[in-house]
Amino acid sequence: MAKIIDGKKVSSDVKNKVAQQVLKLKEMYNKVPGLAVVIVGNDPASRVYVNNKKRACDMVGFYSEEYALPEETTQEELMSLIEKLNNKENINGVLVQLPLPKHLNESAVIEAIKPQKDVDAFHASNVGKIMIGEYSFLPCTPAGVMELIKSENIEVEGKNCVVIGRSNIVGKPMAMLLLHNNGTVTICHSKTKNLKEICKSADILVAAVGKPKFVKSDMVKEGAVVIDVGMNRDENGKLCGDVDFKEVEPISSYITPVPGGVGPMTVAMLMKNTLTAFKIQNHI
């Protein structure tokens, strides 16, 4: 039976630490970190994420602004808003909720955000810094995964780590962070041959493939640490991850649930990144 890693508890610890620092900053400088969140269109999942971010800002004591733009917003209008937020002194972090409507150029939007305000760490400059290990911000989901691993004192050094998924948002940076912690890392994807065998060699398995219950017990080594980044709906419309929890939990040593595992960590790490951005911009 695996130990279930409680993302709600760990994320709450992270947010409490941020909140304590915000109180000190307010006392010392009479300023608090500011986060602007931009949402375009009415994607229901995006709306849920934006609401969660707003609640987290309130909880840690940040100043926050939300810009809810209509579906038909043009590229020029969006770029002009980003420019305005880049130059706003009381805004330290700018986040544009992805995915954007099809007619908008996502990569141009990401590149338009000032690297020091890019609290999602998606800008090419921040991605490059992660590659060489000299970063200020880490993408929130992979950073959250590392925080969960650390919370259970799980040793990464020398371990076989397998990441399923190669997205720019999770898979690739996840692999880099495990590598920076001296793990031996394999990235698997849709074209990987012998996927099952490779996954079965993992001491730490991170599933970020976006397919409900994709990872079955025959893909997991006895005693492995299993981190489920997936957020899907099963055939009954219930939230589930990329890992078949019922099958995999009995054979793993640690496992994250969905919901309540990696999900809450993403928002907590966004708060941490915004605090870091505030400190950098204010030379603290």
Residues making up the chain, counted from first to last: 284
Residue 198 CA: distances (Å) to CA of 3, 89, 173, 186, 187: 23, 49, 20, 8, 10
DSSP-derived pairing of the beta strands 160-164 and 204-207: parallel
Structure tokens at 89: 């002194």
Position 235 scores a pLDDT of: 87
Instruction: Find out whether 37 and 54 touch, Cβ atoms under 8 Å.
Output: yes
Position 1 scores a pLDDT of: 82
- Given 15, 117, 120, 172, the catalytic residue: 120
Q: What gap in Å lies between CA 245 and CA 249, rounded to an integer?
A: 5
CATH fold of 30-114 reads: Rossmann fold (3.40.50)
Q: What gap in Å lies between CA 181 and CA 33, rounded to an integer?
A: 29
A 10 A CB-CB count for 97 gives: 21
Structure tokens at 178: 């495990």
- Given 97, 213, 242, 244, the catalytic residue: 97
Q: What gap in Å lies between CA 62 and CA 32, rounded to an integer?
A: 6
Instruction: Find out whether 152 and 126 touch, Cβ atoms under 8 Å.
Output: no
Q: What gap in Å lies between CA 221 and CA 205, rounded to an integer?
A: 9
- Give one DSSP letter per residue of 44-112, joined into a string: HHHHHHHHHHHHHHHHHT-EEEEEEE-TT--HHHHHHHHHHHHT-TT--EEEEPSSPPTTS-HHHHHHH
Residue 120 is among the residues annotated as catalytic for this protein: yes
pLDDT tens, the chain, 284 aa long: 899 999 999 999 999 999 999 999 999 999 999 999 999 998 888 898 999 999 999 999 999 999 999 999 999 999 999 999 999 999 999 999 999 999 999 999 999 999 999 999 999 999 999 999 999 999 999 999 999 999 999 999 999 999 999 999 999 999 999 999 999 999 999 999 999 999 999 999 999 999 999 999 999 999 999 999 999 988 888 999 999 999 999 999 999 999 999 999 999 999 999 999 999 999 99
Q: What gap in Å lies between CA 248 and CA 51, rounded to an integer?
A: 32
- Given 53, 117, 159, 272, the catalytic residue: 53
Every domain of the chain and the residues it spans:
30-114, 140-263
Residue 30 burial by CB count (10 A; 0-12/13-18/19+): exposed, middle or buried?
A: exposed
The reply to whether 140-263 shares the fold of 30-114 is yes
Place of tokens 């371990």: 159
CATH code of 140-263, in short, is 3.40.50.720
DSSP-derived pairing of the beta strands 34-40 and 63-69: parallel
Structure tokens at 224: 């492995």
Residue 53 is among the residues annotated as catalytic for this protein: yes
DSSP-derived pairing of the beta strands 232-233 and 239-240: antiparallel
Residue 211 is among the residues annotated as catalytic for this protein: no
The number of angstroms, rounded, from the C-alpha of 192 to the middle of its chain's C-alpha atoms is 24
Position 234 scores a pLDDT of: 87
* Exposure string over 38-70, b if 16+ CB within 10 A, otherwise e: bbbbebeebeebbeebbebbebbbbebbebebe
Position 45 scores a pLDDT of: 84
Position 170 scores a pLDDT of: 95
